[in-house]
Amino acid sequence: MLRVVKMLSIFILLFIAFVLGSQNPQLIKINYILASAELSLAVVISICFVTGVIVGTLISLRLFTTLKWQNFRLKTSNKKLIAEKET
């Protein structure tokens, strides 16, 4: 069931991306520090979206692993305290 929900959400996101891409064909000029480029507005929106998803995933992964490690240390400490209390 979870796999179906994931696939459905991916298809919905792809459909939204297709609609945004077809509605934004204008060319815009992007100025970098050293260069500039002329890109479609849909491409710029896609690049910003993907960059945001990657940054959000990395931040969430960092927080998640920190919390998992803290949980592991607390469980270990709890087991030691329970063992000391029983003896």
Report which DSSP code applies to 26. Answer: -
Question: DSSP secondary structure string, 27-70?
Answer: EEEEE-SS-EEEEEHHHHHHHHHHHHHHHHHHHHHHHHHHHHHH
pLDDT on residue 18: 78
Give pLDDT, residue 60: 92
CA distance 19 to 12: 11
Selected residue with higher pLDDT from 34 and 1: 34
pLDDT tens-place string over residues 37-83: 998 888 888 888 889 889 998 999 999 999 999 999 999 999 999 98
Burial code (b: 16+ CB inside 10 Å, e: under 16) for 30-62 equals eeeeeeeeeeeebeeebeeeeeeeeeeeeeeee
